[in-house]
Structure 1
Amino acid sequence: MQAVSKTALWVASMRAVEAARADRLHDDPLATAVVAAADSIPPAPPGAAEFMAIRTRFYDEFLAESVPQVVVLAAGLDARAFRLPWGGDVRLFELDLPELLELKEKLVAAEGLVPACERVVVPIDLREDWAAALAERGFDPAVPTAWIAEGLLQYLSEEDKKRLLDTVHAQSAPGSRFAFDHMDASADDRASVVDTLERIRSMGTDLVATVDDPAGWLTAHGWSVATDHVPALAVGYGRPLPDFMDPAAANATALCTSTLP
């Protein structure tokens, strides 16, 4: 299996852990099926599942304010098309590598999952012309869109990241919204973060980790941007982070929402 699929399996396994909790912040039937079908999944370091639960809930809440189109960039094994209460007029596009989406479709079929919106799968490498692939499948850049890039920017080179932001901006009508996360330079000095990053890199990924300021880029292009951090979000969700987690390390990840007026 491709290295990126290994990280997708890893994320799914942490979502399955959260789904099994009585006080869960999200449910995810696909994640449970992924774990059952996988031969082996690398164990997550302490605190990773707690972090993933907060990040997942953040994006779920972002998408609760619905717009006619939703684009999930690097969708992986994300199951939001099936588990969120969409309106029937929402069209959701999932973009990711063909081999990963092929695996996902097999799992979806085996579980009998039915999307709660119009779901459009777009097999594409995001380093290619994915805007053209979206257009071929019915995406309308004149319609307001909610974009999410969950755990994506850390895997892109600066050139690829700028190209992605350029494309999102060019394809966004007024009223569009964009949520993403990134790690600032302080993450490089936190032992717990470094351990997690090394585990991810051991799966064969080209993880960059920290990136230049994407919020600043969007602001310069007319977007309004708000930034949250995991510890404060965790308190707001009624799930304060465990004492063993390093608050400074958790704060190194910025979760951002932006709107194009």
Structure 2
Amino acid sequence: MQQGAAGQDPRKQVGNALPSDIGWTGLLTAHMRAVESQRNDRLFDDPLATALVDLVRNAVHTDPDGTLPTGPEDDSGELTEAWYMLATYLGVRTRYFDDRILDAVSGGTRQVVLLAAGLDSRAARLALPAGTMVYEIDTEPVLRFKESVFESAGLKPGGGRRPVHADLRGPWVEKLTRAGFDPLQPTMWLIEGLLMYLAPEVCDRLLDAVTHLSAPGSRVALEYFDSVPRQDDVSTVNDVEAAVIGRIVSFFQDGPALPPNRWLEERGWDPDVITLAQEIAGHGRDIPPLFQKGRRHEVGVWLAHGRLH
């Protein structure tokens, strides 16, 4: 394996170069995208996620809680309920947002901004038109780590990619504009895997900033949980699964205070909302029990996108 950009083997960086919270969920998301990429009926193919799987498995011992997944299959080779839920949720979510981005650029949008981009590889794996610039906002350690994995795996991240080293919990707008972002041009904003980890007032500030930076015709895509899931909402078969689910749940906050349609409408966005369960069924997949109606504690998840008037 080649050395990373900082002269280190990326496997040695997993435990100390990534933030412990969102960095960990980013690794988990990449793992589930790799699982989806290996399916015969896959919804996408993510070579960066596939390259990361071995790094995740080899780095389990560096995780202080020992909760990085070592493999989502049971003894029969089938996905257990917990892993099926995670793989299906993250795989279908990824495809939904892929389609929103491709729809935006097909309509002429040439700016794409990924908020808390993490280990996202859309700039490399989506066939984006020439002249499209993808701005990836995340902390410097996360983006540096991703670049080292691209390099070690021999992957090209694409010419239309511009990392923006910023923490969304602090100043980031000026850093984005300094990187070349033009608020007078329509933009496709992606807020994936983020809002459920934020308090309502932080969500409001984030969407207000996005709206302020958006020219008419801009688009935004996001996900929304109507309640905080609990650890006992998901059946687990061993201590590793229980630890993974427990750690994910521990990160959750309340998210936006309003339903997604109202939340977007009040800021001038024309919303289009679908439940995650509907999107899963639309791809011919079984709906995981966590997202099925009629449960004692149903967890509703919406996928939403909007266009600015």
State the match for 1:19 in structure 2: 37
- Contact kept? 2:231, 2:245, Cα under 8 Å: no
SS, match of residue 174 in structure 2: helix
Deviation readout 1:133-177 (Å, 9 max, x if unpaired): 101100000000000001100111222211111110000000000
Per-residue deviation, 1:114: 2.0
Separation in 1, partners of 2:267, 2:280: 30
Q: Does 1:254 align with 2:295?
A: no
Q: Identify the range of structure 1 (212-221 vs 64-73) with the bigger mean alpha-carbon deviation.
A: 212-221
Of 49, 54, 71, the residue aligned with 1:31 is: 49
TM normalised by structure 1 equals: 0.90
Separation in 2, partners of 1:211, 1:194: 27
Q: Identify the range of structure 1 (172-181 vs 46-55) with the bigger mean alpha-carbon deviation.
A: 46-55
Say how many residue pairs are matched.
259
Q: Does 1:181 align with 2:223?
A: yes
Separation in 1, partners of 2:263, 2:93: 22
- Which runs of 5 or more residues in structure 2 are unaligned? 1-15, 61-67, 73-81
CA distance 1:251–1:224, change in 2 (3 Å): farther
State the match for 1:68 in structure 2: 110
Q: Does 1:233 align with 2:279?
A: yes
TM normalised by structure 2 equals: 0.77
- Which runs of 5 or more residues in structure 1 are unaligned? none
- Contact kept? 1:97, 1:123, Cα under 8 Å: yes
Q: Which amino acid aligns with 2:308?
A: L
Separation in 1, partners of 2:305, 2:288: 27
CA distance 1:245–1:211, change in 2 (3 Å): same
Of 72, 91, 101, the residue aligned with 1:53 is: 91
State the match for 1:77 in structure 2: 119
Q: Does 1:207 align with 2:234?
A: no
Q: Which amino acid aligns with 1:50?
A: T
State the match for 1:219 in structure 2: 265
CA distance 1:205–1:69, change in 2 (3 Å): farther
Per-residue deviation, 1:202: 2.4
State the match for 1:192 in structure 2: 233
Larger Rg: 2
Separation in 1, partners of 2:167, 2:133: 21
Per-residue deviation, 1:199: 3.6
Separation in 1, partners of 2:110, 2:47: 25
Separation in 2, partners of 1:183, 1:204: 12
- Contact kept? 1:19, 1:27, Cα under 8 Å: yes
Per-residue deviation, 1:188: 4.4
Per-residue deviation, 1:236: 2.1
CA distance 1:198–1:192, change in 2 (3 Å): farther
- Contact kept? 2:133, 2:161, Cα under 8 Å: yes
Q: Identify the range of structure 1 (64-73 vs 152-161) with the bigger mean alpha-carbon deviation.
A: 152-161
Per-residue deviation, 1:211: 3.5
Q: Which amino acid aligns with 1:166?
A: D
